[in-house]
Chains A and B, each alone.
Chain A
């Protein structure tokens, strides 16, 4: 008999998944580095090292630029980790927002069904159809580039898919007998949604969230690639990749280092997401 029920079971199952554990470990390391890295490095993110000639210099242990420098002579080590921090921040916040809105929307639509569901999901469909890249560009032009704008833009789009997924789950759950039992007890719809539907979709939601974060990071990277992302002197992984791409032939480390970190981050999140999906798969009883 398991103590503490389902989350314990899931935790234990996750613990047995070697790939997921390694991924989780690497992820923790990356997060730690992103927080401490810029402090541990010998240079600030916007300090131009005039002693170098040329300004863009490859990684070397001797001069303390462990990842090398960018075209302006700024330490890449500090910038990469600072950029990672920004990317993660945007990703996590945007995911949380899309999660909260998406789950509430989808659970309500899926449970209530009928016309309410129809209207709610038509709204989602309309938003889906809008060329959001267009909007983001327009908004950026109008309001200027800012972290909050990006985060809003991503969040505004991210909740749509979450809503669809949760709605599907909610519709399936609605057929289950314990929902009938709750209705027979006379519980109002909002209570059923909050107490019975949402807890039972959390498994899927968590898994989907870990798989959304990579998508968000990529989207933000894409925006940065287009020049619409974060402003100087702050940077994100996407910006670093964009800048590095232009120097690909002469200073390859400028592209390789941030892309490797980005790729590693995405890989770990995907492995973890897979592991969570297997662990949370309700194979009980």
Chain B
């Protein structure tokens, strides 16, 4: 049994809240609560959820940008800790990321050529200008940018071009896994399609895995073989793409799918089986299922017991006391 490329175990991250809410207590917000996942080499996984579900925190924790309060991240079997520089350095060469804001992820005072060169220098130690220039030109071409754009600044380019540059920077060292945190969400539809295709091409050509974090289920379905659903920091469903989309088990997943607007005239996404979102300050305490405030199928057990992630069918798991229940909105 080969070691999975990435393994996350029991990952928990909390943030201190600076401003108390209605319950005037400066406390902590749980961004992630004991999340487990595993990704094999070359595979692509989508992490979906809405705001506050912790998906961005997950990507930041994996990339080592935020320290978890509990749990571990293992890269190719090795425990990754922010204090262990050598392991971290090795991981960085093999794990890179692209984030949402194409203009924000590039230093506005550096040309995109310089930004890409920085990756080459930091991760592979290549400083010789001639050698670097060749690699940079090749990388820009691979992402569909004309190499002459290397001397341009981010504000001179379009969102799509900047995002391509960010992808070039992340992939020039041929990482084994690329984490895309809402990488296409800020782009126009036609450009989004181009970038989705690009990511897929790169992934297939280089055997590069993808961890796609997105609220856009359709895009995730396009790129990912496996899907994980987060709700308020907890992993509520996980499964192979087709199974999850065809027969979602967790009521939240079903509500999410029903709410996605479909380009079909007359489709009414407001009929999704979900109750109005509760006031953020009144959200139920951590006992029991966190979704019960919005779930049409919630009952007493849901208030008492935290549902564990249970296997329903060949790798398709859900954390629910009533998976697959019939829902009425």
Contact = CB atoms under 8 A, between A and B. Distances in A.
Chain B associates with chain A: yes
Interface of A: 1-2, 5-6, 176-178, 180-187, 195-196, 199-200, 282, 284-285
Taking each of B106, B107, B111, B166, which has the highest tally of chain A beta carbons within 10 Å of its own beta carbon? B107
A282 B106 CA distance: 15
Interface in B139-172: 152-156, 166, 169
A186 B123 contact: yes
Contacts of B119: 185
The interface residues of chain A, by DSSP majority, are classed as helix
B97 A178 contact: no
A185 B156 contact: no
Given A6-B109, A200-B109, A184 B104 contact: no
B44 interface: no
A185 B65 contact: no
A1 B122 CA distance: 30
Contact of B108 (A183, A185, A200): A200
Of A178, A184, A200, chain B has the most CB atoms within 10 Å of the CB of A184
B156 A187 contact: no
A284 B108 contact: yes
B253 interface: no
B104 A185 contact: no
B74 interface: no
A117 B44 CA distance: 40
Given A185-B118, A187-B122, A1 B156 contact: yes
Interface stretch (B32-40, B88-96, B261-269): B88-96
Contact of A178 (B100, B106, B155): B106
Given A183-B65, A284-B155, A285-B154, A177 B104 contact: yes
A184 B65 contact: yes
Given A180-B99, A282-B108, 12 more contacts: A2-B156, A5-B153, A177-B100, A180-B60, A182-B118, A184-B65, A185-B122, A186-B88, A195-B118, A284-B153, A284-B155, A285-B103
B155 A285 contact: yes
Nearest to B107: A178
A196 B122 CA distance: 14
Contacts of B118: 182, 185, 187, 195
A120 to B, nearest CB: 21
B63 interface: yes
